[in-house]
């Protein structure tokens, strides 16, 4: 296994330190290539107390400076090596799963935007529950999967209301493709209600876990074509999966037969039926869903890495302070010596 860069840095600092120590302890090697002149009778000078004290002071200063520099280098190496604590956190939350299922066929054009806004109000009543959104006509399109990111949910539901209120002229390429995905251009089929419900059932994950699962199903229940799955079959699938369907119908008065059929279907799943223009509908949907028992959901483990540069930073700081305390007085003393106003 190759060396990582922090270890290379430590090795480099060690080499530099070794070179500095060698150069300091063996000055004769540095001067060997220079022309020197030996003076006779200088022993008396080097024996003077002031001279001996100066030589000792210089050596002491050099050793202290070298020690402080080594401490700074060691602290820098520790910081560069990034000592960390790594903890794998196994997260678990308790929540419910809700799929918003919206009919966007032509017969829903006048009310779909209002229903998207109603969905936003419903989501605002949840706390930590996972929510998904699917739209359908001749086909179903998943707008977003189950998520508990409520900022994202608010953004996408606001965009959905704009889609339905202003048309598709302002959509970007990705959103336009998603929107057109609900249309079957090769046939005259549309409003395949039971197929839309069956597709929404597929958006629930973790089928092996017993969880609170609900579908908020907004449709006028007006078919235009033959679906692949009948409503009875879709209801049976919901009951098998333990999913309660809450139907919201904007045309109860004008399409009474369709409303009765939709009501019968959703009640068979253990859900409830609401008139879209009932002022209490949103609150009742939220209350009935949140009354269900939240179930624990194990999230993917998360690695938490915490840096601990404190010891290295402390070493580097202490070394820098020590270096300043050693070098500053020595520099002042040297300047005074050069000016001749004090040699001791």
330 and 289 both lie in a single domain: no
What are phi and psi for residue 25, nearest 5 degrees? -80, -20
DSSP 242: T
| Residue 306 falls inside a structural domain | no
Q: What is the pLDDT of residue 196?
A: 92
Q: Express each pLDDT in 31-57 by its tens digit.
A: 445 555 666 566 666 677 776 776 777
DSSP 294: P
Q: What is the pLDDT of residue 31?
A: 47
126 and 154 both lie in a single domain: yes
What are the DSSP calls for 58-103, one per residue? HHHHHHHHHHHHHHHHHHHHHHHT--EEEEEE--EEEE-EEEEEEE
64 and 184 both lie in a single domain: no
| Residue 40 falls inside a structural domain | no
Q: What is the pLDDT of residue 207?
A: 87
Enter the tokens of residue 183: 């249309």
110 and 256 both lie in a single domain: yes
Q: What is the mean pLDDT of each run of 10 residues along the chain (344 residues)?
A: 48 54 50 55 68 71 74 71 70 83 86 90 91 88 90 89 68 50 56 91 90 94 90 96 95 92 96 92 93 77 72 70 68 66 50
The domain of 145 spans 93-297
Q: What is the pLDDT of residue 232?
A: 95
Q: Where do the H-state alpha helices sit in 146-294?
A: 150-166, 173-180, 193-201, 231-241, 256-268, 281-290
Which are the contacts of 52, defined by CB distance < 8 A and separation ≥ 6?
Answer: 46
Q: What is the pLDDT of residue 105?
A: 84
Q: What is the pLDDT of residue 301?
A: 74
55 and 151 both lie in a single domain: no
What's the number of domains the chain is made of? 2
According to DSSP, the residues that pair with 142 across neighbouring strands are: 134
102 and 126 both lie in a single domain: yes
Enter the tokens of residue 109: 């054009």
- pTM score of the predicted model: 0.61
| Residue 304 falls inside a structural domain | no
128 and 262 both lie in a single domain: yes
Residue 1, exposed/middle/buried by CB under 10 A (0-12, 13-18, 19+)? exposed
- Residues 62, 20: Cα–Cα separation, whole Å: 11
Count of other CB atoms within 10 angstroms of residue 219: 27
Q: What is the pLDDT of residue 46?
A: 66
124 and 77 both lie in a single domain: no
| Residue 34 falls inside a structural domain | no
67 and 177 both lie in a single domain: no
216 and 322 both lie in a single domain: no
117 and 74 both lie in a single domain: no
Q: What is the pLDDT of residue 123?
A: 94
| Residue 227 falls inside a structural domain | yes
209 and 277 both lie in a single domain: yes
DSSP 42: -
């Amino acid at each position: 296994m190759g060396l990582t860069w922090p270890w290379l840095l430590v090795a480099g600092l060690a080499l530099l330190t070794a070179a500095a120590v060698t150069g300091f302890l063996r000055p004769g090697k540095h001067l060997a290539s220079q022309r020197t002149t030996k003076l006779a009778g200088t022993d008396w000078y080097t024996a003077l107390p002031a001279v001996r004290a100066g030589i000792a002071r210089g050596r002491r200063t050099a050793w202290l400076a070298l020690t402080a520099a080594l401490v700074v280098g060691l602290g820098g190496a520790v910081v560069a090596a990034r000592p960390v604590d790594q903890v794998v956190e196994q997260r678990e939350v308790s929540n419910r799963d809700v799929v918003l299922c919206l009919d966007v066929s032509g017969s829903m054009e006048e009310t779909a935007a209002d229903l998207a806004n109603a969905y936003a109000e419903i989501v605002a009543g949840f706390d930590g529950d996972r929510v998904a959104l699917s739209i359908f006509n001749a086909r179903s399109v998943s707008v977003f999967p189950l998520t508990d990111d409520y900022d994202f949910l608010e953004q996408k539901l606001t965009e959905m209301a704009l889609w339905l209120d202003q048309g598709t002229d302002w959509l970007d390429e990705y959103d336009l493709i998603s929107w057109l995905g609900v249309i079957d251009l090769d046939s005259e089929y549309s409003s395949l209600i039971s197929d839309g419900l069956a597709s929404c059932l597929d958006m629930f994950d973790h089928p092996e876990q017993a969880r609170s699962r609900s579908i908020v199903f907004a449709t006028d229940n007006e078919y235009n074509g033959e679906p692949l799955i009948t409503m009875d079959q879709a209801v049976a699938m919901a009951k098998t999966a333990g999913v309660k369907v809450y139907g919201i119908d904007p045309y109860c008065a004008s399409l009474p037969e369709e409303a009765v059929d939709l009501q019968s279907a959703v009640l068979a799943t253990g859900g409830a039926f609401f008139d879209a223009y009932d002022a209490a509908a949103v609150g009742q949907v939220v209350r009935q869903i949140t009354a269900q028992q939240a179930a624990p959901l194990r999230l993917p483990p998360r690695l938490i890495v915490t840096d601990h540069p404190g010891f290295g930073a402390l070493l580097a700081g202490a070394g820098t302070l020590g270096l300043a305390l050693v070098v500053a007085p020595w520099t002042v003393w040297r300047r005074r010596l050069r000016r001749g106003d004090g040699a001791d």
